[in-house]
Structure 1
Amino acid sequence: MFSKSNLLATLTGGVAMFVLGYVLWGMLGETLNGDNVLNNVMKVEPDFIHLFFGCLISAFAMSTIYGKWARGHHSAKEGAEFGIWVGVFVGVGMGLIFFATSTMMNFTGHLIDAVLNIIYYLVIGIIIALIYKATSDKSKS
C-alpha cells in the first residue's frame, strides 16, 4: 500500500487532479454549464488547502485500487480503462443520484458533468498507470 509506485502515483495524481479539476470545472465547466445550474452552491473563493488534500486522498485511493486492479500490467491503455470506469461510476452513477435527489443542475448539466468526470478520471488513470509502469520492479515482469 505504501510502495514507491503508489506514493509517487499518489503525489503526481493528486497534483494532476488539482490542476485538471481547475481546468475542466473551473474554466470549461463554468462556461458549458452556465445555463444549467439551478442552485449555485459554489464558494466564491475555494478553500485551496482542503481542496488539495481532497485531491491527494482521492489520488491515493485511486492509486491503491489501480495497483490491485491492474495486477502488474501497467500501460496507458490499462490506466485509461480504469479511469473510464471510475469516471462512469462518479460522473454517470453518482451524477444520476445527485440529479434525482438535489436541485443543483438540470439534466443537461449533469450530462455535461458526467462527460467532464469521464475525461478527468481517464486522464488521472493514465497518469497513475504510467507512474506505476515507470516505477515498477522490472525483475518481476
Structure 2
Amino acid sequence: MFSKSNLLATLIAGVVMFFLGFLIWGIATADFFEEHSIVNAMKAEPNLGLIALGNLVGAFVLSTLYSKWARGHHSIGQGFQFGAWIGVFVGISMGLIWYATAEWMDLTGHVVEAVIDIAYYGIIGAVIAFIYQKTAAKE
C-alpha cells in the first residue's frame, strides 16, 4: 500500500486532480453550472488547502484501488478504463441519487456532470497507470 509506485502516483495524481479540477469546474464549466444550479451552495472563497488535501486522499484511494485492479499489468488504456468506471460510479450512480434527493442542480447539470466525471476520472486513472508503468520493477 505504501510502495514507491503508489506514493508517487498519489502525489502526481493529486496534483493533476487539483489543477485539472480547477480548469474544468473553476474555469471551463463555471458559467454552465451556475446556470443549471438550483441552489448556490458554493462558498465565496473555497478553502484551497482542504481541496488539495481532499485531492491527495482521493488520489491515494484511487492509486491503491488501481494497484489491486491492475494486478501488475499497467497501461494508460487500462488506467483510463479504471478511472472511467470510477467516473461512472461518481457521475451516474451518485448523480442520480443526488438528483433524486437534493435540490442542487437540474437534470441537465447532472447529466453534464456525469460525462465530465467519466472523462476526469479516466484521465486521473491514466495518469496513475502511467506512473505505475514507469516505476514498475523491470523483469
With structure 1 as the length reference, what TM-score do the two structures score? 0.96
Single out whichever of 41-50 and 25-34 deviates more from structure 2.
25-34
Q: Structure 1: give runs of 5+ residues left out of the alignment.
A: none
Note if 1:18 corresponds to 2:18: yes
How much has 1:98 moved relative to structure 2?
Answer: 0.5
1:103: which partner in 2?
103
Tell me what 1:71 maps to. 71
- Residue 27 of structure 1 deviates from its aligned partner by 1.1
AA aligned opposite 2:16: A
Contact 1:13 1:128 in 2 (8 A): yes
List per-residue Cα deviations over 1:45-80 (Å, max 9, x = no partner). 110111100000000000000000001110111101
The runs of 5 or more residues in structure 2 that have no matched partner are none
Name the CA distance, whole Å, in 1 between partners of 2:15 and 2:90: 19
1:34 CA drift (Å) = 2.6
Query: Offset at 1:32?
Result: 2.2
CA distance in 2, matches of 1:16, 1:118: 15
**Alignment of structure 1 residues 1-141 onto 2, 5 Å:** 1-139=1-139
1:61 match: secondary structure: helix
Report the 3-state secondary structure (helix = DSSP H, G, I; strand = E; otherwise coil) of the residue aligned with 2:78. helix
Amino acid in the other structure paired with 2:62: M
Please, what TM-score do these two structures have when normalized by structure 2?
0.98
Aligned length: 139
Amino acid at match of 2:106: N
Q: Identity of aligned pairs, percent?
A: 51
CA RMSD of superposed structures (Å) = 0.7
Alignment-mate amino acid for residue 69 of structure 2 = W
Q: Shift of residue 138 of structure 1?
A: 1.3
